[in-house]
Amino acid sequence: MELKKNPKADLRKDSGLYFVAGLVLVMLLIYGALEWKTYDKDNAYDTAQNVEDQLDEEVPMTEQIKTPPPPPPPAAPEIIEVVEDEEEVEETVIESTETSQEEEVVEVDDVAEMEDFEDLDVPFAVIEDVPVFPGCERAGDKRKCFNEMMQKHIRKNFRYPEIAQEMGVQGRVNIMFTIQKDGSIGNIRYRGPDKNLEKEALRIIKKLPRMTPGRQRGNAVRVPFSIPITFKLQ
């Protein structure tokens, strides 16, 4: 015989609804407990900062100060006395500095300008007569010939230092020197990325031949000159 239950006696019928309602109630109680605040009844706190910006006193308005009028100007004298100037004033006579046609004019010879070329250095780019490299005596443009012969001299005497090749060192050496008044090379200065390259550039410049010195207004002068020497590995 099959047992049958009365639907009204089923306790699990609305269990889900009861569970949700209980969960909501519990959460409300927890929230209320967390937000509950209590305050002490003691009112002993500092009220020194509660300053009301109130002015009970009335500020009197500034009274207008009346400045007295300026005093009247003094009255002019009724009688004006005229004083005669009896003292004599000596007149200053300024004589003319212009010469008359009767006076003889002395002619002054032209003053020759003397320039000191003893300690004068004239750059290669602005000198009147550039130094003459051997082989450029008959060249029309001696400045251009000088540069070409310098390049030819460097290519002819160029040797790449073996130690610099082994170390893989390359770069450019800027070398400066002065062509003296006797055509010799002096005051050599250089700067490069490696001592071996600098030594080779110095050797090349020291092998330069004696030149015809540069001249400024007909006088022999020192001529500074600079040129880069590039060392590049193939």
Domain ranges of the chain: 142-231
With beta carbons less than 8 A apart as the criterion, state whether 185 and 225 touch.
no
Question: What CATH code is assigned to 142-231?
Answer: 3.30.1150.10
The full length of the chain comes to: 234
SS3 content of the chain, % helix, strand, coil (to 5): 25, 15, 60
**pLDDT tens track of the chain, all 234 residues?**
555 556 666 666 677 888 888 888 988 889 888 887 766 665 544 444 444 444 455 545 545 555 677 777 776 655 555 555 555 655 555 555 555 555 555 554 554 454 555 678 899 999 999 999 999 988 889 999 999 999 999 999 999 999 999 899 999 999 999 999 999 999 999 999 999 999 999 999 999 999 999 999 989 999 999 999 999 887
Nearest to 179 by CA among 211, 219, 227, 215: 211
Burial call 195-209: b when 16+ CB within 10 Å, e when fewer: ebbbebbbebbeebe
